[in-house]
């Protein structure tokens, strides 16, 4: 059976490779993929949304609905991990853990690691914010910035312990933040609708705020990217906490 | 005006708000989440219904998201067929939630909001798949729908987690194949909008890339739809999940995927494409024959009512696939009718079996003794669903099978016609085996008849009463909804 499967995979792969011979030439400006839609993005995006990075313009504005749904996918993933993995849920768990200082708590006691982590965490967080905010000009944006921000938190949990990490962000906070992120993104869309235009048409927001159209688009992209970053950060932290503590979100390792 | 997007947005917002409310009120008002979910689905169903009426009276609507015209932006395009599917999906999800909403849940404290959030997200995902007019956007909606379904299905009996993991692996392969097909389409056409792709594909000569894209995309949808050799995930996942979840997903997922296949065949790909690879469509029809017979035979072997229904579902998927690839308008009409009919009758049957599971804790056929005395209303609804599944007029199953059968005869495909009749006969045997036990034998344990509450029985009775109504409305459905969708294509 295994050999049969392997043979099927190899044959299917070869067939797919064979079809690539029929592809248009790579980088050819006359191919349909580079003529039809992308040409307009390249020519118009800067004047329409004051955003030099065309990828951000496409993801955050022309195809913002896809990006919203991808954010919802991340939100769903966090929710799904909670639904499947979370164990031993008691009423006390739902209350925020009171900060406690146990002098005998020696978990993760390593001066060098802790000091290095403590030095680097703020810098990593700063870099995360930079990647988020600089998405208009260079590769970056909400997804990437959010991942970097979550990495800083995970470094804190790894270098110290789960208790310290939970003191900085409780389970409740991560759930609320992940919901807040998608609400911010979709809420912007709804705010646009209140001005009489379609969902996610940032022209509506520009009208409400009294900005010029392109600036409004640019500002709205920043807002929705912040929403994406919130959800990505919170959902990743949620998944990390659930996985590393066997679903208890307590002591962990 | 804003209705197409509102239909999808209500369940989405319901999901976020449910999670936010549950965690901000810290367990004190957990009961407040259920009204949020019910009202979100209710509003969505109302929007879908109004949209359906509008589309019927004033013609198809296109909604430009972000105000960008296609092909630059994403559009939702709702014609009579997709509007009707929106009504089916949102109303089905609402009825199912209502039926199981007040049953005590087995989940640990605090998981109900997450469950409801995922339930709403799954519904929103399927609504989006139906409404969207963009092939990549459709993939993103598949992701939302699938991810929440995996999580929902993993809760249930002891085997549910494993079955759900299996479904996750198979489903991811299906979604990836679909995405690969979209990639091929983008290479040939440079566009992602369905109507735009259709325009471009008619102007350029058929290339290997287009054909490969078509084949890969269809294979992906077949996996997602549980066509025969790729069906193994379906019975495992749906029969071990909690009744509220299988009642949501069993009527919805395969039907929505069948709808996507119909949409691709009628809207996106040019008619001469299927003629160019006639081998592929005849393979699809043969596969459908195998699926119908295999589904019927495997259903015969089951001892559990829910597993039996799941294998009947595998056979039903064969009906829809065969009709879609038969190549004539009659069979395609049968497929579309069957998508609607199957959604309604599967919902009826799963609601009935679900309430049996909730009441007795299991659904073994041997335990069905005397069910007509202990749960008369449930069994009446079950009977209506079963008669429709068998294809007894005037229930809706009869008319869709009639069209499928005439389509098969029109195309001269005797084997498909034969398997259709064979599987209907097997269905007769399967369901009368249950009826015989439930009607003539004495119940094992004496208990008060049907202590089920009205909120559990009302949705079931409503949908059971709708089965003959849908059947009798077949003429109108064909004239108003199916003929416009097939016009100019077949």
Choose the mutation target among A27, A44, A66, A170 for the interface with B, i.e. most B CBs under 10 Å. A66
Task: Report the candidate in B152, B120, B144 with the shortest Cα–Cα distance to residue B42.
Answer: B120
Q: Which of these, B424, B483, B114, B169, lies nearest to A85 by C-alpha position?
A: B114
- Of B20, B73, B208, nearest to A179 by CB-CB distance is B20
How far is B301 from B311, CA to CA, in rounded Å?
10
CA distance A116 to A200: 43
**Contact state of A37 with B140 under an 8 Å Cβ cutoff:** no
| Of residues A199, A238, A185, the one with CA closest to residue A76 | A238
Tell me whether B186 touches chain A (CB under 8 Å): yes
User: What is the secondary structure of A4-43 as a DSSP string?
Assistant: HHHHHHHHHHHHHHHHGGGSPPTT-TTSHHHHTTHHHHHH
Would B219 be classed as within a structural domain?
no
Among A1, A18, A22, A201, most B C-beta atoms within 10 A, so best to mutate, is A22
Nearest CA in chain A to B20: A176
End-to-end CA distance of chain A: 41
Mutate to test the interface with B, among A41, A57, A83 (most CBs of B within 10 A): A83
**Beta-carbon count within 10 A of A99 CB:** 9
Do residues B364 and B342 lie in contact, with contact meaning Cβ atoms separated by under 8 Å?
A: no
pLDDT class of B489 with cuts at 50, 70, 90: confident
Our CA-based measurement puts residue B434 at a distance from the nearest CA of chain A, in whole angstroms, of 35
Angle at A150 between CA A147 and CA A155, to 5 degrees: 125
Q: How far A11 CA lies from chain B's nearest CA (Å)?
A: 14
| Contacts of residue B248, Cβ cutoff 8 Å, sequence gap at least 6 | B92, B93, B96, B97, B119, B122, B123, B152
Q: Which distant-in-sequence residues (6+ apart) come within 8 Å of A189 by Cβ?
A: A64, A68, A199, A200, B9
Residue range B184-210, pLDDT digits in tens: 999 888 899 999 999 999 888 888 889
Q: In chain B, which among 209-228 make CB contacts under 8 A with chain A?
A: 209, 212, 216
The whole-angstrom distance between A79's CA and the closest CA on chain B is 6
Does the residue B25 lie in any domain? Answer: no
Q: Specify the range with the lowest mean pLDDT, choosing from B358-362, B391-395, B450-454.
A: B450-454
Q: Is residue B287 part of a domain?
A: yes
Range scoring the smallest mean pLDDT among A31-45, A193-207, B315-329, B408-422: A31-45
Q: What percent of chain B has pLDDT over 90?
A: 61
Contact A84 B155 (CB under 8 A): yes
- The rounded distance, in Å, linking the Cα atoms of A233 and A174 is 8
Distance between CA B156 and CA B162 in Å, rounded? 11
Domain assignment present for residue B468? The answer is yes
* Distance from C-alpha of B38 to C-alpha of B107, rounded to nearest angstrom: 19
Residue B486 pLDDT level (bands cut at 50, 70, 90): confident
pLDDT for the residue A48: 85
Q: What is d(CA B224, CA B227) in angstroms, rounded to the nearest whole number?
A: 8
| A65 vs B66, B71, B186: nearest CB | B66
Separation CA A220–CA A136 (nearest Å): 11
DSSP B138: H
- Domain membership of residue B41 (yes or no) is no
Which residues of B fall within a CB distance of 8 Å from A83? 111, 114-115, 118, 151-152, 154-155
Query: What are the Cα distances from residue B443, in Å, to B54, B245, B308, B368?
Result: 50, 28, 21, 8
Tell me how far apart the alpha carbons of residues B343 and B341 are, in angstroms, rounded to a whole number: 5
Q: Is B68 on the interface with A (CB under 8 A)?
A: yes
CB B342 within 8 A of CB B372: no
Which residues in chain B have Cβ-Cβ distances shorter than 8 Å to A200? 65-66
Within 13 A of B102's CA, how many CA atoms are on the CB side?
A: 9
Q: What is the pLDDT of residues B304-320, one digit of tens each?
A: 999 999 999 999 999 99
Domain that holds residue B363: 278-489
d(CA B78, CA B194): 12
Q: CA distances (Å), A177 to each of A171, B117, B257, in order?
A: 10, 15, 33
Do residue B65 and residue A176 have CB atoms under 8 angstroms apart? no
CB contacts, 8 Å: B140 with chain A: 66, 69-70, 73
Q: pLDDT grade, residue A101 (50/70/90)?
A: low
CA dihedral B16, B21, B22, B28 (to 10 degrees): -170
Is the pLDDT score of B346 beyond 60? yes
Among partner residues B67, B114, B155, which is closest to A79 by beta-carbon distance? B114
Tell me what pLDDT residue A90 has. 55
- The two structure tokens encoding residue A33: 């993929």
Look at chain B and report how many structural domains it folds into: 1
CA angle, B430 then B431 then B432, to 5°: 95
Q: With an 8 Å Cβ cutoff, are B65 and A65 in contact?
A: yes
A11/B contact by beta carbon, under 8 A? no
Alpha-carbon distance A102 to nearest alpha carbon in chain B (angstroms) = 26
Nearest CB to A73 within list B66, B147, B204: B147
Considering the domain boundaries, does residue B459 fall inside one?
yes
pLDDT of A105 reads: 52
Of B66, B143, B207, the CB nearest to A201: B66
User: Mean per-residue pLDDT for B225-251?
Assistant: 89
At A107, is the pLDDT very low, low, confident or very high (cuts 50, 70, 90)?
low
* String of DSSP letters for chain A: -HHHHHHHHHHHHHHHHHHGGGSPPTT-TTSHHHHTTHHHHHHHHHHHH--S-HHHHIIIIITHHHHHHHHHHHHHHHHHHHHHH-----HHHHSPPPP---TT--TT--HHHHHHHHHHHHHHHHHHHHHHHGGGTSS--HHHHHHHHHHHHHHHHHHS-HHHHHHHS-HHHHHHHHHHHHHHHHHHHHHHHHTTS-TT-THHHHHHHT--HHHHHHHHHHHHHHHHHHHHHHHHHHHHHHHHTTT--SS--
Q: Is residue A96 predicted with pLDDT exceeding 80?
A: no
Q: How far is CA B286 from CA A15, A37, B319, B404, in A?
A: 23, 39, 11, 15
Lowest-confidence pick of A32-36, A153-157, B417-421, B478-482 = A32-36
Smallest CA-to-CA distance from B252 within B91, B401, B34 is with B91
**pLDDT value at position A253?**
46
Query: pLDDT band at A21, cuts 50/70/90?
Result: confident
The whole-number pLDDT of residue B338 equals 95
CA distance B172 to B169: 5
- The predicted structure's pLDDT at residue A251: 63
- As given in the structure block, the two tokens for residue B238 are 């749906």
Residues 6+ apart with CB under 8 A from B321: B222, B225, B227, B258, B261, B284, B285, B287, B288, B291
> How far is B52 from B78, CA to CA, in rounded Å?
9
What is the pLDDT averaged over residues A129-133?
Answer: 93
In chain A, % of residues over pLDDT 90: 47
A195 touches chain B (CB under 8 A): no
Whether residue B74 lies inside any domain: the answer is no
Of A199, A248, A240, A226, nearest in space to A142 by CA: A226
**A66/B contact by beta carbon, under 8 A:** yes
pLDDT of residue A27: 78
Asked whether residue B193 is domain-assigned, the answer is no
Residue B250 in tokens: 């069993």
Number of H helices, E strands in chain B: 21, 2
Q: How far apart are CA A185 and CA A178, in angstroms?
A: 11
Residue B448, pLDDT > 60, answer: no
Query: Could you identify the residue written with the tokens 């494409």?
Result: B273
| Least confident interval from B14-23, B145-154, B370-379 | B370-379
Using CB atoms, pick whichever of B110, B114, B140 lies closest to residue A66: B140
Q: Which residue has the higher pLDDT, B409 or A89?
A: B409
List pLDDT tens digits, range B59-82: 899 999 988 888 889 999 999 999
CA distances from B431 to B313, B344, B376, B434, B468 (A): 14, 17, 16, 5, 18
Nearest-by-CA chain A residue for B162: A84
What pLDDT score was predicted for residue A100? 54
| Phi and psi, residue A170, nearest 5° | -75, 170
Express each pLDDT in B93-129 by its tens digit: 999 998 887 665 556 667 888 899 999 999 999 999 9
pLDDT of res. B367: 81
Max Cα–Cα distance, chain B, nearest Å: 71
Average pLDDT value for chain B: 89
Q: Is the ipTM of this complex over 0.90?
A: yes
B77 touches chain A (CB under 8 A): no
List C-alpha distances in Å: B92 to A188, B249, B315, B347.
Answer: 30, 10, 21, 7
Residue B82: the pLDDT is 93
Query: Where in chain A are the domains?
Result: 57-87+112-184+230-252
Distance, in Å, from the CA atom of B69 to the CA atom of B52, rounded to the nearest integer, reads 23
> Does A248 reach chain B within 8 Å, measured CB to CB?
no
Tell me the Ramachandran region of residue B110: left when phi exceeds 0, alpha when psi lies from -120 to 50, beta otherwise: left
Type and span of the H or E element at B280: helix B278-300
Q: Show residues of chain B in contact with A40, CB under 8 Å.
A: 72
Could you give the CA distance from residue A57 to residue A41 in angstroms, rounded to a whole number? 8
Report the SS3 class of residue B63: strand
Are A86 and B111 inside 8 Å of each other by CB?
yes
A41 at interface of B, judged by CB pairs closer than 8 A? yes
Give the per-residue pLDDT at A92.
Answer: 53
Is there a contact between B66 and A95 if contact means CB atoms under 8 Å apart? no
Contacts across the A-B interface (CB distance below 8 Å): 175
Write the residue in B16, B72, B147 that is nearest to A37 by C-beta. Answer: B72
Residues 110-149 of chain B with CB under 8 A from chain A are 110-111, 114-115, 117-118, 121, 128, 136-137, 140-141, 143-144, 147-148
- Does position A93 have pLDDT exceeding 60, yes or no? no
For the entire predicted model, the pTM comes to 0.93
Residue A139: count other Cβ atoms within 10 Å of its Cβ: 11
Who wins on pLDDT, B455 or B72?
Answer: B72
The pLDDT value recorded for residue B180 is 95
Query: Minimal Cα distance from B2: which residue of A?
Result: A198
Q: Would you call A202 an interface residue with chain B, using a CB distance cutoff of 8 Å?
A: yes
Within 8 A of B187 by CB-CB distance, chain A residues are 23-24, 31-33
Radius of gyration of chain B (CA): 22
Tokens of B449: 């008849």
């Amino acid at each position: 059976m295994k050999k049969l499967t392997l043979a099927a995979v190899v044959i299917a792969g070869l067939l797919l490779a064979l079809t690539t011979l029929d592809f248009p030439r790579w980088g050819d400006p006359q191919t349909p993929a580079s003529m039809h839609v992308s040409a307009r993005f390249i020519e118009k995006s800067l004047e329409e949304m004051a955003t030099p990075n065309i990828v951000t313009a496409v993801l955050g504005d022309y195809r913002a609905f896809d990006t919203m749904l991808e954010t919802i996918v991340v939100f769903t993933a966090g929710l799904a991990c909670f639904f499947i993995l979370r164990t031993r849920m008691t009423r006390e768990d739902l209350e925020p853990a009171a900060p406690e200082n146990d002098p005998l708590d020696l978990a993760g006691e390593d001066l060098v690691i802790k000091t290095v982590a403590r030095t680097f965490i703020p810098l990593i967080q700063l870099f995360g914010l930079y990647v988020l905010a600089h998405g208009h000009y260079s590769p970056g944006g909400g997804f990437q910035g959010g991942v970097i921000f979550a990495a800083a938190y995970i470094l804190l949990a790894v270098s110290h312990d789960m208790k310290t990490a939970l003191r900085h962000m409780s389970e409740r906070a991560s759930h609320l933040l992940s919901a807040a992120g998608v609400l911010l993104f979709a809420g912007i869309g709804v705010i646009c609708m209140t001005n009489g235009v379609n969902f996610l048409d940032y022209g509506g927001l520009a009208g409400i705020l009294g900005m010029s159209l392109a600036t409004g688009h640019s500002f709205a992209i920043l807002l929705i990217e912040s929403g994406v970053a919130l959800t990505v950060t919170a959902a990743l932290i949620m998944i990390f906490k659930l996985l590393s503590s066997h679903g208890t979100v307590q002591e962990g390792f | 005006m804003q209705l197409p997007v509102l239909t999808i947005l209500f369940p989405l917002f319901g999901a976020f708000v449910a999670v936010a409310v549950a965690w901000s009120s810290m367990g004190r008002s957990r009961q407040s989440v259920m009204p949020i979910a019910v009202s979100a689905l209710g509003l969505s169903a109302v929007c879908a219904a109004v949209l359906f009426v509008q589309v019927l009276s004033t013609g198809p609507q296109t909604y430009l998201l972000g105000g960008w015209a296609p092909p630059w932006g994403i559009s939702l395009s709702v014609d009579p067929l997709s509007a009707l599917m929106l009504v089916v999906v949102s109303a089905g999800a609402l009825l199912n939630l209502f039926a199981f909403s007040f049953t005590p849940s087995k989940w640990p404290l605090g998981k109900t909001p997450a469950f409801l959030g995922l339930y709403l997200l799954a519904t929103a995902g399927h609504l989006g798949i139906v409404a969207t007019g963009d092939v990549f956007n459709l993939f993103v909606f598949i992701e939302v729908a699938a991810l929440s379904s995996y999580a929902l299905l993993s809760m249930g009996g002891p085997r549910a987690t494993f079955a759900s993991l299996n479904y996750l692996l198979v489903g991811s392969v299906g979604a990836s194949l679909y995405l690969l097909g979209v990639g091929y389409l983008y290479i040939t056409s440079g566009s992602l909008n369905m109507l735009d792709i259709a325009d471009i594909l008619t102007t350029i000569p058929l290339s290997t890339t287009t054909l490969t894209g078509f084949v890969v995309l269809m294979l992906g949808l077949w996996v997602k739809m549980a066509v025969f050799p790729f069906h193994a995930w379906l019975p495992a996942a749906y029969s071990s999940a909690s009744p509220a979840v299988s009642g949501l997903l069993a009527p919805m997922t395969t039907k929505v995927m069948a709808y996507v296949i119909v949409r691709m065949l009628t809207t996106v790909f040019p008619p001469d494409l299927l003629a160019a690879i006639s081998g592929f469509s005849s393979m699809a029809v043969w596969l459908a024959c195998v699926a119908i017979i295999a589904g019927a035979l495997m259903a015969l072997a089951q001892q559990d009512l829910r597993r039996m229904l799941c294998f009947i579902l595998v056979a039903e998927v064969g009906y829809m696939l065969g009709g879609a690839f038969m190549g004539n308008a009659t069979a395609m009409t049968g497929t579309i009718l069957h998508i609607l009919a199957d959604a309604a009758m599967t919902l009826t049957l799963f609601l009935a079996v679900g309430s049996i599971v909730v009441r007795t804790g299991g659904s073994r056929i041997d335990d069905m003794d005397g069910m007509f005395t202990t749960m008369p209303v449930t069994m009446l609804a079950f009977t209506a669903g079963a008669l429709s599944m068998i294809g007894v007029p005037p229930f809706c199953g009869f008319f869709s099978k009639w069209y499928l059968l005439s389509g098969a005869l029109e195309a001269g495909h005797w084997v498909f016609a034969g398997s259709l009749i064979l599987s209907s006969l097997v269905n007769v045997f399967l369901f009368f085996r249950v009826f015989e036990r439930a009607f003539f034998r004495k119940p094992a344990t004496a208990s008060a008849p049907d202590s089920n509450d009205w909120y559990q029985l009302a949705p079931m009775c409503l949908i059971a009463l709708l089965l003959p109504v849908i059947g009798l409305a077949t003429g109108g459905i064909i004239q108003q909804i199916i003929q416009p969708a097939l016009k100019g294509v077949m």
